[in-house]
Amino acid sequence: MRDHRVAQAAPVMAKMWDNDDRLVRIFVLQYCSAVRAPETFEIAWRAYSTLPEKHELRISAVGAMAACVQKLDALAKRAIPLILEHYSQDGFDAREQFEAALCRAAGREPKARPTDEPADIAQRLEEWKAWWRKAAN
């Protein structure tokens, strides 16, 4: 299924989320990251909203939402505040995915590879926050 990226499986994946099994939920979020569609965004949104605040899969849900961001549209406007909230708090892989989503939303070319230096992360986050203040209006 991952190879074929079958968007029609979204209703099944949404039901699978209710199983409350960690491995199944990881699979569902991986599916949402691979199949970039409004339906999979909604699954990831629901996942993020229903998981406890410190749950390990919340960042995966934000990553799945970020994968669905293709341009600055209503979907992106829901995801970007969460992306910015988690941008500097999470690991390099997540930040790389967040950076790519923000670049797609802004219509920019992604940086070759974001750095992991705290000062660079803070600077880049401030640049994105400034962009978002203008874009959100």
Q: Which of 68, 87, 113 is the last residue of a domain?
A: 68
The pLDDT value recorded for residue 115 is 77
The pLDDT value recorded for residue 1 is 47
pLDDT band at 111 (very low <50, low <70, confident <90, very high): confident
Question: What tens digit of pLDDT does each residue of 22-46 get?
Answer: 999 999 999 999 999 999 999 999 9
pLDDT at 52 > cutoff 50: yes
Domain hosting 127: range is: 70-137
Burial call 85-98: b when 16+ CB within 10 Å, e when fewer: ebbeebeeebbbbb
pLDDT at 66 > cutoff 80: yes
HSE toward the beta carbon, residue 68, CA cutoff 13 A: 32
Determine the Cα–Cα distance for residues 70 and 34; give it in Å rounded to an integer.
Answer: 13
Query: Are 49 and 106 contained in the same domain?
Result: no
